[in-house]
């Protein structure tokens, strides 16, 4: 049976350093993808993702295990991305090393290499999705990315973005209407965006 996030955090806080690898493995890709959708460049997304995990690691003892860890870490990612966009500051990768010099983030970056044909299809799909998402206002884009790509509930999105539930639902509805208009717009030059 797979451990819950809270169980893994408890294990780590009790001294099991391997538990941190497990939680990073679980959230590294979704956090990176969320941040990438917000900032638009892989290098910035990678830097922000690293900073997000460093902040989470440093504040893990403050995490309330009664709350959703997923919402907690996405809140950190969102706030870090917004701060990054404002400041454009750099981050030293070695900040994530423990006392023994081991870098858990570096050890857990998965090899996401695809086969050449898979890579071509994925890039085409990503360009189409990014092109459509980039037509949304940023506040709507955040809600759509968090809900559909990261599977957060509207309540969790409200906590991440620090917005009331009804505001999140309203922004979601408006985003869907805009996306519907974009998708129904006459196609030009063979592209839907």
DSSP 50-106: HHHHHHHHHTGGG--TTS-HHHHHHHHHHHHHHHHHHH-----GGGGB-TTS-BHHH
Distance CA 61, CA 10 (A): 9
pLDDT at 18 over 70: yes
Token code pair at residue 186? 């006459």
pLDDT bracket for residue 89 (50, 70, 90): very low
Going from the N-terminus, what domains does the chain have, and what CATH number goes with each?
A: 1-112 (1.10.1740.10), 114-193 (1.10.10.10)
Question: Considering only 17-31, 35-49, 75-89, which range has the smallest mean pLDDT?
Answer: 75-89
The pLDDT value given to residue 104? 52
pLDDT at 105 over 80: no
pLDDT at 110 over 70: no
pLDDT at 140 over 80: yes
The pTM (predicted TM-score) of the whole model is 0.59
Greater confidence (96 vs 83) lies with 83
The pLDDT value given to residue 55? 92
pLDDT at 74 over 70: yes
Maximum distance among all Cα pairs of the chain, rounded to whole angstroms: 59
Which helix (H) or strand (E) is 110 found in, with range?
Answer: none
Percentage of the chain exceeding pLDDT 90: 25
Query: Residue 50 CA to chain centroid, in angstroms?
Result: 11
Q: Across residues 168-185, what is the average pLDDT?
A: 87
Dihedral sign of CA atoms 79, 85, 90, 94 in order: positive
């Amino acid at each position: 049976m797979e451990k819950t996030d809270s169980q893994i955090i408890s294990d780590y806080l009790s001294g099991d350093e391997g538990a941190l690898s497990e939680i990073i493995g679980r959230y590294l890709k979704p956090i990176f993808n969320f941040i990438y959708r917000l900032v638009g460049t892989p290098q910035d997304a990678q830097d922000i993702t690293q900073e997000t995990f460093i902040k989470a690691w440093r504040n893990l003892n403050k995490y309330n295990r009664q709350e959703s860890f997923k919402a907690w870490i996405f809140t950190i990612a969102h706030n870090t991305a917004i701060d990054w966009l404002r400041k454009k500051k750099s981050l030293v990768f070695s900040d994530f090393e423990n006392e023994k010099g081991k870098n858990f983030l570096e050890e857990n970056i998965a090899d996401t290499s695809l086969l050449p044909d898979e890579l071509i299809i994925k890039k085409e799909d990503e360009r189409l999705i990014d092109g459509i998402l980039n037509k949304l206002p940023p506040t709507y884009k955040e809600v759509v990315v968090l809900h559909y790509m990261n599977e957060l509930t509207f309540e969790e999105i409200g906590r991440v973005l620090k917005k009331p539930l009804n505001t999140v639902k309203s922004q979601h509805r408006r985003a869907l209407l805009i996306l519907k208009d974009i998708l129904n717009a006459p196609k030009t030059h063979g592209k839907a965006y």
